[in-house]
Amino acid sequence: MDFFIQSAFAQDAAAPAGGSLASLLPLVFLFVVFYFLLIRPQTKRAKEHKQMVDALAKGDEIVTNGGILAKITEVGENFVVAEVSPNVEVKIQRMAIASVMPKGTMKTL
């Protein structure tokens, strides 16, 4: 049985040195694919959302992550006060705003 083990060790010692670079190539390729398909689009969306939240102003019509359509009446540092219907105002965290709607959307619904 010793002659089988010795031949296995001899086979590992004769492996070419360039094999380690070739074994890393698929891993690098996978990282590049993940970067362009997952990481980059997600950071782009996060940047666009942050710009949208920073540009909020009084009078903007918004939709929250929960699907509530409201009109901003007051803008604070971390929260906005939005009017859902006449005489009904709610305080909403700025990051919970999903999108800004065109002016007049609340009147058409």
What CATH number corresponds to the domain at position 85?
Answer: 2.30.30
Q: Specify whether 47 is located in the same domain as 64.
A: no
Q: Specify whether 85 is located in the same domain as 99.
A: yes
Q: Specify whether 102 is located in the same domain as 65.
A: yes
Backbone angles phi, psi at 36, to 5 degrees: -75, -25
Q: Specify whether 6 is located in the same domain as 47.
A: yes
Residue 90 has a pLDDT of 97
The total of structural domains in the chain comes to 2
Categorize the per-residue pLDDT at 60 as very low, low, confident or very high, splitting at 50, 70 and 90. very high
In whole angstroms, what is the distance from residue 25 CA to residue 40 CA? 21
In whole angstroms, what is the distance from residue 107 CA to residue 68 CA? 15
* Radius of gyration over every alpha carbon of the chain, rounded to an integer in angstroms: 29
**Range of lowest pLDDT (8-17, 27-36, 64-73):** 8-17
> Does residue 14 register a pLDDT over 60?
no
Give the domain range for residue 65. 57-108
Q: Looking at the whole model, is its pTM more than 0.85?
A: no
Residue 98 exposed, middle or buried by CB count within 10 Å (0-12, 13-18, 19+): middle
Q: Specify whether 36 is located in the same domain as 69.
A: no
Q: Specify whether 7 is located in the same domain as 38.
A: yes
Residue 21 has a pLDDT of 81
> Does residue 20 register a pLDDT over 90?
no
